[in-house]
């Protein structure tokens, strides 16, 4: 015979159900936290041990070098960067987008919802193909435009192709750079000096001029400065000059374009593990101990700078212009 359900029994069952329902989510969350973090603390990552530390294997590649042949291979965010739609629908052009910091920015932009055009030297095609594939895997349009930015004509062509194939342009990242180490100014030929100046200073000038008519209010220009602009090394005489000039053009152009609603900012990295360093940017002795002088005791990885480029392009940074964002592992300025 079924147990008779009284009013008191019914109310008791309802109260029990409500109590269980109220406790269950908290209990579930607690059990999940215990699974993911036994210490019941925040998810913290020690920056000193997050990535490889020196000593590194001495290694040299002919200029311009390939990231895929480095040991260890740099992290550009291929497996680690997760987007959240912050740049949905944007159209970005990134010079030097095949490897290093430019590659990290390209991957992040695509995963944040932007279509991306990358420029690179023809010799860097193997790296560039990987980036194009990653952009497309993110469901975004990828445009590959190989060529040398040391001529004004190509810079104009580069921007025109990017605008045409992307259907517009609103984010420009002048990342490409040339760096060679020389013990003495006497070792720098006029041709080498000119290559550094044309790649690092002339090219951004030509590219910005070509891009400006296409940039609407809300657009963003980002230049790549360096700690070398603030604390130059004795063996990077020409490169350091160009980074000081980059810092100045960012601040000057921000004042000029601010009234038009176009923001201009820069990023100043410290030692970052890229192909630039192993293809003549550092001596072999410096490669072995690269980054050990930073307070974190290691070089940065390109992936660690990706979020900076996203933030500077994002609408949430609408009051940020004329600034240089440092990322140097605790050393250098700003």
Mean pLDDT of 149-176: 98
Q: What is the tens place of the pLDDT at every residue in 263-302?
A: 999 999 999 999 999 999 999 999 999 999 999 999 999 9
Q: Band the pLDDT of 333: cuts 50, 70, 90.
A: confident
Instruction: Give per-residue pLDDT as tens, 237-250.
Output: 999 999 999 999 99
Provide DSSP, 174-242: E--------SSGGG--HHHHHHHHIIIIIHHHHHHHHHGGGPPTT-EEEEE--GGGTS--TT-HHHHHH
Q: What is the pLDDT of residue 266?
A: 98
- What ranges do the domains of the chain cover? 1-39, 67-327
H-type alpha helices, 46-115: 100-111
pLDDT at position 18? 37
Average pLDDT (82-93) is 97
The residues, any chain, with a CB within 8 Å of residue 161's CB and separated by 6 or more, are: 117, 143, 145
Mean pLDDT of the chain: 90
Whether 5 shows a pLDDT value over 80: the answer reads no
Topology classification of domain 67-327: Rossmann fold (3.40.50)
Task: List, in sequence order, every residue forming a beta bridge with 326; answer none if it has no partner.
Answer: 268
Q: Please answer whether residues 273 and 74 qualify as being in contact, where contact means their C-beta atoms are separated by less than 8 angstroms.
A: yes
- Please state the separation of Cα 161 from the chain's center in Å: 23
> Does the CA dihedral 116-319-207-173 come out positive or negative?
negative
76: pLDDT confidence band, cut at 50, 70 and 90?
very high
pLDDT per residue over 10-45, tens digit each? 444 434 443 333 333 333 333 333 334 445 457 899
Separation in Å, CA 219 to CA 110, 172, 215, 330: 17, 8, 6, 30
Express each pLDDT in 95-135 by its tens digit: 999 999 999 999 999 999 999 999 999 999 999 999 999 99
Could you tell me what percent of the chain has a pLDDT over 70?
88
Q: What is the mean pLDDT of residues 82-94?
A: 97
Which residues are catalytically annotated? 239
Mean pLDDT of all residues in 79-93: 97
């Amino acid at each position: 015979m079924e147990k008779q359900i009284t009013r008191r029994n019914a109310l008791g069952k309802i109260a029990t159900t409500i109590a269980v329902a109220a406790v269950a989510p908290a209990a579930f969350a607690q059990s999940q936290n215990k699974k993911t973090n036994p210490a019941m603390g925040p998810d913290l990552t020690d920056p000193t041990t997050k990535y490889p530390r020196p000593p590194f294997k001495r290694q040299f590649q002919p200029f311009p070098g390939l990231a895929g042949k480095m040991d260890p291979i740099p992290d550009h965010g291929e497996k680690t960067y997760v987007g959240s739609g912050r740049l949905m629908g944007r159209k970005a052009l990134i010079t030097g987008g095949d490897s290093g910091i430019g590659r990290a920015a390209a991957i992040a932009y695509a995963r944040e919802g932007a279509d991306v055009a990358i420029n690179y030297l023809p010799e860097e095609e193997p790296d560039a193909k990987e980036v194009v594939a990653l952009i497309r895997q993110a469901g975004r349009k990828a445009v590959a435009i190989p060529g040398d930015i040391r001529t004004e004509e190509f810079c104009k062509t580069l921007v025109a192709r990017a605008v045409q194939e992307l259907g517009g342009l609103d984010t420009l990242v002048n990342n490409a750079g040339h760096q060679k180490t020389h013990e003495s100014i006497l070792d720098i030929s006029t041709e080498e000096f000119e290559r550094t100046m044309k790649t690092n200073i002339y090219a951004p000038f030509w590219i910005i001029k070509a891009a400006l008519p296409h940039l609407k209010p809300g657009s963003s220009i980002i230049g790549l400065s360096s700690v070398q602009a603030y604390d130059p090394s004795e063996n990077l005489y020409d490169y350091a000059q160009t980074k000081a000039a980059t810092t100045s053009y960012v601040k000057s152009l921000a004042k000029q374009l601010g009234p038009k609603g176009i923001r201009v900012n820069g990023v100043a990295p410290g030692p970052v593990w890229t192909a630039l360093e192993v293809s003549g940017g550092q001596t072999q002795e410096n490669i072995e101990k690269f980054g050990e002088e930073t307070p974190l005791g290691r070089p940065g990885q390109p992936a660690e700078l990706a979020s900076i480029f996203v933030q500077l392009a994002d609408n949430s940074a609408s009051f940020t212009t004329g600034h240089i964002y440092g990322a140097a592992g605790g050393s250098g300025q700003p």
